[in-house]
Chain A
Amino acid sequence: MFKSFQNGILAGLSQWRMALTVYLFQLLLAITLGVQVYHVLEASIGNSLELNKLLGNYDHTVIRDLLNVHGASISPLLGQFRWLALAYLIFSVFIHAGILHAVINQEKNWLAFWKGGATWFFRFFKLGAFYLLLLAVISAAIWLPFLGFFATSPEYLSSEKISVWLLILMIVFYLFLLIFLFSWSLMARIKIIREGVTNWTAIRQGLFWLTRHCFSTTGLVALFFLVHVLIFFIYWEINDTGVVSLGWILFFMLLQQLVAYFRVMVRVMTFAGVSHHFAPNTDAPEP
């Protein structure tokens, strides 16, 4: 597992150009909304001296007055964001297919990324729909009864202590399920690229792989997940300090973009790590 983790990191680093491509695409999409956020803020409170209060720290009064008075200008942006996220979800199928194709075939040129995306898009689209549906069903099956229990638990439990610990356990369990689902969907896609099997076979064999090597695989994915968490933790720690000059703002913008780029990179690393964890044409992890 640790060897695959290490290998994933190295393979991911070597695919920095591909990660950069994905990152730039994300950035481009985000900027289309970011520019609108800028203009809405400028039109709403751009000439107010209160704006200066937002330079140092968050100011609840300034933001809430802004939302109270100019909420109607801001809500269309949220609508746009929802559509953007949906479009990106579909495009993610292409991006992830491209990344997987490149890391499995150990090709480091852009052409491999585009080719992989184009080759596997439609098959992965159907596969993705299956896993999203599964996620929705599992989430509903877990959370609806639990939240029902949680809301009414004061009626039959003497203390909420039990409910709180159950909630924490449920969150941990759900995270594990997400990791499991992610690993499963990844394995199915790897199987399709490597062996060209049908979607249904890939789903079955992916699950078979995963159940046999559940802890090593989910552990590997969890390690990469922890890298995401670590990146965010570092970002929060630095971000909490007051920013009062343009120089600092530029510095933090660079830091934010570095974090965004690293998150893409970690995704590539995760794909490479899991791909490495299972040697081609075998049902067992690499020794």
Chain B
Amino acid sequence: MKYAWLTAIMLTTQIAFGQCDPFFNPPLSERPANYEIDLKLDHAAKTIAARETLTWINTSPDTLREMRFYMYLNSFKNTESTFLKGASEIFGQDFTNRKADEWGWINIDSIGRQGGRELTAGLRYIQPDDGNKMDQSVLQVPLDQPLFPGDTLVLHMKFTAKMPKIIARAGYSKDDYFLFVHWFPQAGVYQINLDGKWGWNCHQFHRMTEFFADFGSYDVSITASPHLVLGASGCLIEEKENADGYVTRRYHVDDVIDFAWTAYPYFEIYEDTWEHVNIRLLIPPEHCSMAERYIGAVKHSLSYLTKHVGRYPYPTITIVDPPLHALRSGLMEYPTLITVGTFYNMPTWFRNSEALAAHEFAHQYFMAMVASNEKEEAWLDEGFVTWFEDRIVDDAYGRKKSLVDLFGFRYDSRELSRLEYTGMPNPKVGIIARPSWEFVEARKELIYSKTATSLETIRNLAGDEVMDKIIMTYFERWKFRHPKGTDFLAVLEEVSKQELGEVMGGMILSIFESCIYTTDVCDYVVGNIVVGKISEPTGVFDDGKGGLTFKKGQVTDTYHSEVILYREGDMVFPVEVEITFDNGEKIMEKWDGLDRRKVFEYTGKNRVISAHIDPMQKILLDLDLNNNSLTLEPQKSPLFRYATRAVFWIQNVLQTVGFLV
């Protein structure tokens, strides 16, 4: 009863959300994995007790005798799970001194096949990746009868889950804050794998990996204390108060690969719309100054991605901004629900929160709709999303200043992505295209930043229109499916060859392949410019009469200039070279970039004064853009400016250090 007034407020706000229609007819995907879950949250014990009905269609040509389930929460059960084993901290968080109630787990209490036998006794945890018998993140369910191609399997189960104190986004924090992600037994994917054969793709949960699941419909009824404000994937379609005072809210979402939800008593709700999309922001009171900025970023993302990728079909997007004590649950993507993160009174000159919102929203396209395997080929989502984050943020807030703009110190998102890659101590540390669990270092720099910089380089070479066509074709062809890296390469090859011709299209494909599948780096250098006046021939010459004659040639007014270029990296790009002469004339040369050294020579009345490889800076993968140009008539003013500034700041520091003596 004490929460009655709160219930009334929440009902009012959530009824307004009732405009949301989540049902897609016809379906957008094959919907092989469909879930009906009915759960009750015990917020004091941090547990949920649930009934789950899985309706699963065998879309393969194989007859199946088992099912496999992800049991992600068991990764947080003890230090022997594959996720935690050998680590002392996760994302900077020490977990070794956790108390008993801070660990998490999930258990299927009973499972049975509709119209068939009870299957509980046959349940067995398996470890397909590393054989770690203590890991319980993958569950094998032997079937009582074979499941033939095209057949539908209906499994009824009861499960209990205990949420951990937040770890890797999932769990609880103070004041009854919860983020329920990867919280239920979820079917693995039976598909054609990278080896070309049909099989289960249901990897264990590794520290560096994310997720991979099949499309389907989710119908989730959540019964929880009325003091909790809820947010979830999809639309709220039904709400009722129970006799015990608890409230049951039913959410539905079609054609997604996962379902996430959150609960917190102090969330404030902001709502807005963009075309057909309800935008719903759940934010703690201390962060409310960010509400407009978050919603603005998501609206701009919707607009930008609709224009450059394709339509966002879902009727809703929920943005969850966790309180600071639960920040470790932030900055993640789930279908139609994203989590962001900020700090009290985040200054307007620092737009990291907006960039994160754009990043997580872009995952609705690359992860949620184009559902590539985040575990095996993370570049297909994180790389693409970082690239779009850069584009969205720079488009919304301006080039060269979109991320930080304070007292003349400024930079944008695209610069940051490039510099994260080019600033690596060793950019050749490994290739991008490998499973995430193989990354021991530089995962972000390679998967996120190098991929984004590679895509931007390809965009610069192919042109905006062609790149849009490549991405739109890829999206249209692979949305609501599970593409692999080779599928994107096929689209890239097809469209670029069709739009740019065989040679240029082939070149673009080859460049992108070397970015993703090799450790080659790119560095073009203007090595030197050598200029001299031509002299007439000098020396002893035959005089034609059997004798010799000496001639001393005069120095002419004609110059001979040599521009010496080097390719210091292994990556081969055809490049443009802008040559400038002393009369102001500029010519643009083309170099196929194949040889390690290239010399352009000029003879004439004017001498070369500068050379600039790739003057438009299309090739952002170049490790050092400063050595791409060389001039014989350098401007001293910038040097002077920075030196005088250095002098000024040294003076100021000296003046300050001795203030007390």
Contact = CB atoms under 8 A, between A and B. Distances in A.
Contact of B657 (A46, A54, A85, A239): A85
B323 A159 contact: yes
Contact of A45 (B409, B626, B643): B626
Contact of A128 (B409, B418, B643, B661): B661
B539 interface: no
Interface string B634-661: 1101111111111110111111011111
Say what secondary structure dominates the interface of chain B: helix
Contacts of A172: none
Nearest to B523: A69
A184 B114 CA distance: 85
B642 A240 contact: no
B641 to A, nearest CB: 5
A49 interface: yes
A50 B629 contact: yes
A80 to B, nearest CB: 10
Interface residues of A, number: 81
Contacts of B436: none
B347 to A, nearest CB: 12
B661 A41 contact: no
B624 interface: yes
A211 interface: no
Interface string B405-434: 001111100010011001100000000000
B631 interface: yes
- Which of B324, B629, B655 has the largest count of A CB atoms less than 10 A from its CB? B655
Given A34-B643, A37-B646, A60-B410, A246 B286 contact: no
A55 B286 contact: no
B638 A257 contact: no
B542 to A, nearest CB: 44
Contact of A68 (B286, B324, B422, B643): B422
A29 B628 CA distance: 35
A154 interface: yes
A160 B324 contact: yes
A2 interface: no
A81 B650 contact: yes
B522 interface: no
Contact of B642 (A41, A48, A178, A267): A41
Contacts of B286: 159-161
A93 B661 contact: yes
B660 A88 contact: no
Contacts of B407: 236, 240
A66 B626 contact: yes
A244 to B, nearest CB: 8
B309 interface: no
Interface stretch (A10-18, A105-113, A248-256): A248-256
A30 B635 contact: no
B411 A62 contact: no
Interface string B240-270: 0000000000000000000000000010000
Nearest to B617: A61
B610 interface: yes
Contact of B660 (A42, A48, A57, A185): A185
A187 to B, nearest CB: 13
Interface string B198-213: 0000000000000000
Interface stretch (A199-207, A212-220, A258-266, A276-284): A258-266
A88 B644 contact: no
B327 A154 contact: yes
Interface in A66-94: 66, 68-69, 81, 84-85, 88-89, 91-93
B660 A84 contact: no
A59 B648 CA distance: 20
Say what secondary structure dominates the interface of chain A: helix
A64 B407 CA distance: 18
Given A256-B648, A263-B652, A263-B655, A55 B422 contact: no
B326 to A, nearest CB: 8
B641 A243 contact: yes
B584 to A, nearest CB: 15
Contacts of A142: none
A249 B626 contact: no
A64 B423 contact: yes
A60 B415 contact: yes
Contact of B640 (A135, A246, A264): A246
Given A51-B639, A131-B660, A263-B655, A157 B325 contact: yes
A29 B646 CA distance: 12
A159 B344 contact: yes
Contacts of B657: 85, 88-89, 92
A264 B174 contact: no
B660 A27 contact: no
A256 B641 contact: no
A65 interface: yes
Contact of A48 (B175, B623, B626): B626
A58 B408 contact: yes
B558 interface: no
B650 A30 contact: yes
A148 to B, nearest CB: 15
A34 B626 contact: no
Given A61-B418, A159-B344, A164-B345, A260 B655 contact: yes
Contacts of B628: 48, 50
Contacts of B343: 160, 164
A256 B626 contact: no
Contacts of A185: 660-661
A50 B629 CA distance: 7
Contacts of A51: 626, 634-635, 638-639
B284 interface: yes
B648 A260 contact: yes
A26 interface: yes
A47 B658 contact: no
A149 interface: no
A26 B651 contact: yes
A91 B658 CA distance: 8
B660 A260 contact: no
A160 B643 CA distance: 41
A170 interface: no
Contact of A158 (B325, B327, B409, B626): B325
Contacts of A52: 635, 638
A46 B634 contact: yes
B284 A47 contact: no
Given A85-B657, A96-B658, A131-B660, A69 B626 contact: yes
B630 interface: yes
Top 10 A-B pairs, shortest CB-CB distance: A92-B658, A128-B661, A60-B411, A34-B647, A49-B629, A38-B643, A30-B650, A256-B648, A154-B325, A54-B638
Given A48-B630, A88-B654, 15 more contacts: A34-B646, A49-B631, A51-B638, A57-B408, A58-B408, A64-B415, A89-B661, A91-B658, A131-B661, A155-B325, A158-B325, A159-B285, A159-B344, A164-B345, A257-B648
30 contacts: A26-B654, A33-B650, A34-B644, A44-B626, A45-B626, A47-B632, A48-B626, A50-B626, A51-B626, A52-B638, A55-B641, A60-B400, A60-B415, A61-B419, A65-B624, A69-B626, A85-B657, A91-B658, A129-B661, A131-B661, A159-B286, A160-B344, A243-B641, A246-B637, A249-B641, A252-B644, A253-B644, A259-B648, A260-B655, A263-B652
